[in-house]
Amino acid sequence: MLKKILIANRGEIAVRIVRACAEMNIRSVAVYTEADRHALHVKRADEAHFVGEDPLAGYLDPRQLVNLAVQTGCDAIHPGYGFLSENADFARICEARGIRFIGPCAEVIEKMGDKTAARASMIAAGVPVTPGSEGNLADLDEALQVAGEIGYPVMLKATSGGGGRGIRRCDSPEELRSQFPRVISEATKAFGSADVFLEKCIVDPRHIEVQVLADGQANVIHLYERDCSIQRRNQKLIEIAPSPQITPEQRQYLGELAVRAAKAVNYENAGTVEFLVTGHEIYFMEMNTRVQVEHTISEQITGVDIVQEQIRIASGLPLRYRQEDISFRGYALQFRINAEDPKNNFLPSFGRITRYYAPGGPGVRTDTAIYTGYTIPPYYDSMCLKLIVWALTWEEALNRGSRALSDMRVQGVKTTARYYQEILQDVDFRSGEFTTSFVPDHPQLLDYSEKRNPNELALAIAAALAAHAGV
């Protein structure tokens, strides 16, 4: 078993990994830049080390991070998600220095990170993919030719893209001509590669992903699916497990496809296979070679601690579960509470948290790195909190989510919490039938009132009086 792990990340996922280490009697080492000097992951880890004044550079320097791991006596690095989590060079440097990378090997990261190579691997494994270009596009003329053959609309995508970036829908040759240089520019800046490819746009699909775990002994299982259809501009907002809108037959098929995909590339550790579902058609979209932001809801419905399993697998241990051991119970929803103003085109709202109160009660979980008095820096992702609820039935899960969102207090910055309450009350959402077009098709949900309810106002007055009295 691993003894000491450096966490090459920040925020709530770093705190999540620290907690898993503590429960496994493994020492945790945090890293931080100047902007994160007072961050919660720094306070919670067994050790914390400064990696530079620049808010980002220290989290993005693989050699510095691996050197620090060696110097502090770590035997592994957990990359979390984002930053270097899907960087094949990082995994290679870890291997060269004798540090376990808690994730798949560099070759698999590279193959699945290259969307055209991933498509080729899936085609060879018999996993259905959307029609599109056979490889990277040579130029605009080839893009126009392929689009003409498969029909509009099409999706122009960065080959090395991820997180919803480097993607544009094109409904006509004119749009493809205008978007082609923009996607190349965005891909080059964000991912260091100008390679792009083309896929048929599946209109109004459901975005369904399957969590997999694979050990070093070729054992692969799935933890069922998550529905990530509630999203804005390819950024997920609310995730649900299991999906309320697929049949048992589709659920079994999706699980089998995900396991087949993982085995096809000799996958090891935790990963997620993402699909687009429309009617009875299912298409492979991509594979994320890391822990997902929304891993929490798979944990809630199956009882499997995914982060602990990651650490066990990296330690060389076999999976503790066979597929027949895995079942799910109830429904779980995760709300990404972003520091954004939904009524102002989701403008980021960074600043000091003047009051934070975490909701509780049965079936409620919060994963966060904020606290009262914490200042959300403007250099990172705007997500400041993950609120997760679980209940036995779909309706009970919706009601619990509404109650938990109402209980929660995050003051000092604007958040998306109030907007999610509107979504939870919407008839279309409550029916359990929605697609990736839900958010743009329901603009009226942004017309909510920002007035405080009487209970919240009373609490604010009480808090002010208590502070004035020195209580």
Which residues are marked as active site?
Answer: 290
421 contact partners, CB below 8 Å, separation of at least 6: 402, 405, 406, 448
Alpha-carbon gap, residue 310 to 338, rounded angstroms: 27
390 contact partners, CB below 8 Å, separation of at least 6: 297, 300, 301, 330, 331, 332, 363, 365, 397, 400
Alpha-carbon gap, residue 164 to 233, rounded angstroms: 7
Q: What is the dihedral of CA 72, 77, 80, 84, to 10 degrees?
A: 100
Quick one: tokens of 430?
């409550």
Q: How far is CA 460 from the centre of its chain?
A: 33
Quick one: tokens of 277?
């579902």
* Beta bridge pairs of residue 78: 7
Where is 6: in which H helix or E strand?
Answer: strand 4-7
Task: Give the three-state DSSP class for 299.
Answer: helix
CB of 260 closer than 8 Å to CB of 253: no
Alpha-carbon gap, residue 177 to 180, rounded angstroms: 6
Q: How far from 51 is each of 10, 45, 179, 211, 448, CA to CA, in Å?
A: 12, 15, 38, 33, 43
φ, ψ (nearest 5 deg) of residue 220: -130, 130
